[in-house]
Amino acid sequence: MTSAPPTSPARAAFDPYAPAAPASAVRFLYRLNPLAKIAGPAPAMLVLIFTRDIATPLAFLLLAYAILLVGARMTRRLALLLGLAVPGALLALGLGFSVWTDAARVDQSVIVWQIGGWTMYGGALVIGFATAFRLAAIVALALIGGVTTTGPDLVRSLVQQLRVPYRIGYTALAAFRFVPRFGHELEVIRAAHRVRGAHGGRGPIAAIRRWAGYVVPLLAGAIRHAERVALAMDARAFGAHRTRTERYLVPFRARDVVFIALMWAASAGLLWWGFPWQLG
């Protein structure tokens, strides 16, 4: 019987508690249990690790894109991820791995380009892009749950379905509150150390020493804050009983079973179609 919160005009830059904005019924991913969104793609992601061809991961990449385009609301962030980050990474990884591929082990029939004494063979490109597509497919499948689940909901389903003790669940929920605070503290500490001239200078060694200097003040402040929060929670009977009243249920429903079944069936189908996943 919780009342719908009034929508707030402005929002902090990072608000892990922000309720998912209302989405139309087509955006079905928001209506699924977070665990279903993990269990559905998980087997495919595991098997993908062992594939070596391009077609299989490409098929899964398209599947993940299709699911995301239909099932998730198109936000700026998702658009950037799907439109820029994934394709960009795919290209960079593909080229990178091709360069690193041992030329002695590939088909040297096609020469793509030559720079000085170094040759890029078509075979190397195939291997490099197979790896890149594989990683891109795995990441895209992870995004299905990753961009449509809030941290608190994931924690709640860990408690409600997987029987993780609620005290640990609420530890994680309280932790989400720490994130913006510590981020801000880190910013202040960096400014303070910079203006005092701590480990100035360029280069990786100076940078490492600078960052090492932030660790103790950041963690010390963090742990002291955590201790105060712990007292406040204890003072409100945290951990009094084996269970507590749950007002937010994150149910596991028939639709979750259907989603998992469909994902597994689709995965099996695609894997069967692509078998034996060897480089052609």
Partner 1 sequence: MTRSPLSTRVLLTCAAIGVATGILGGIAGWITAPVLATVPIVYGFVLGAHVLPGIIAQEATHLPWVALISHLVAALVASAIAPPWVFSFLGTAVLFGGIQELVAAMVRYRAWAPWRFFISGFLIGLVVALAVYFAADLDALAPWAQAVYLVLAVLGPIVWTAIGLAVGAALRRAGVARSIRR
Partner 2 sequence: MTPAERSPTPLLRIADLAITHEGADAATPADVSFTVAPGEVVLVLGPSGSGKSTLALALNGLIPHAVPAEIAGTVSIAGHTTADTSVAVLSTHVGMVFQDPDAQLVTGTLLDEVAFGVENLLLSEAEVMRRTEDALRRVGLWERRGENPDRLSGGGRQRLAIACALAMGSPLLVLDEPTANLDPAGIDDVYAALGDLVSAGDRAIVLVEHNLDAAIGFVDRVVVLDADGRLVFDGPARETLRAHAARLHDMGVWLPTSTLAALRLQRAGYALHPLPVTPDELRAALAVSPAAEATPAPPTPHTDALADPLIAVRGLTVTRGRQTVLHDVDLSVRRGDFVAVVGANGAGKTTLVQAIAGVIPPPRGRVRIDDIDPGRVHARVLAQRIGFVFQNPEHQFLAHTVFDELAHGLRLQRVPESEVRQRVDEMLERFGLTAKAGIHPFLLSGGQKRRLSVGTALIAGAPIIALDEPTFGQDRARAEELLGLLDALHRDGTTVLVVTHDMQLVAEHATHMAVLREGRLVRHGLTADVFADTALIEAAGLRPPPLATMLSGMTGHPALSGAVRLRDLPGGTA
Separation CA 147–CA 99 (nearest Å):
32
Q: Of the listed pieces 2-10, 56-64, 157-165, 264-272, which binds partner 2 according to CB under 8 A?
A: 2-10
- Tokens matching residue 192: 């303070």
> Residues 65, 229, 252, 255: which binds partner 2 (CB under 8 A)?
229
> Residues 77, 105, 177, 253: which binds partner 2 (CB under 8 A)?
177
Least distance in angstroms from the C-beta of 83 to partner 2: 22
Separation CA 250–CA 162 (nearest Å):
12
Q: How far apart, in Å, are the Cα atoms of 217 and each of 193, 221, 224?
A: 11, 6, 11
β-bridge partners, 118: 115
Q: Of 42, 106, 31, 35, give the one whose Cα is nearest residue 70.
A: 31
Three-state secondary structure call for residue 278: coil
Complex with partner 2: residue 69 or 226, whichever CB lies closer = 226
Q: Is 228 in the site for partner 2 (CB under 8 A)?
A: yes
* x-or-dash string of contact with partner 2, 138-157, rule CB under 8 A: --------------x-----
Angle between helix axes 122-146 and 55-71 (nearest 10 degrees) is 30
User: How wide is the angle at C-alpha 135 spanned by C-alphas 129 and 137, nearest 5°?
Assistant: 100
Q: Is 181 in the site for partner 2 (CB under 8 A)?
A: yes
Interacting residue ranges for partner 1, rule: CB under 8 A: 16, 38, 42, 45, 49-50, 52, 81, 85-86, 89, 92-93, 95-97, 100-102, 104-106, 127, 130-131, 134-135, 138-139, 142-143, 145-147, 151, 154-155, 165, 167-168, 171-172, 174-176, 178-179, 182-183, 186, 215-216, 218-220, 222-227, 229-231, 233-234, 238-239
Q: Decide if 132 contacts 140 (C-beta within 8 A).
A: no
Q: Is 2 in the site for partner 2 (CB under 8 A)?
A: yes
Complex with partner 1: residue 32 or 143, whichever CB lies closer = 143
Complex with partner 2: residue 105 or 167, whichever CB lies closer = 167
At position 98, the amino acid (one-letter code) is S
Phi, psi dihedrals of residue 238, rounded to the nearest 5°: -65, 130
Q: How far apart, in Å, are the Cα atoms of 81 and each of 1, 41, 222?
A: 36, 19, 31
Least distance in angstroms from the C-beta of 221 to partner 2: 6
Kindly state the helix (H) or strand (E) to which residue 181 belongs, with its residue range.
helix 166-195
Complex with partner 2: residue 16 or 96, whichever CB lies closer = 16
Per CB under 8 A, residues contacting partner 2 are 1-6, 8, 11-13, 15-18, 152, 170, 173-174, 176-177, 180-181, 185, 188-189, 191-198, 200, 213, 216-217, 220-221, 225, 228-241, 243-247
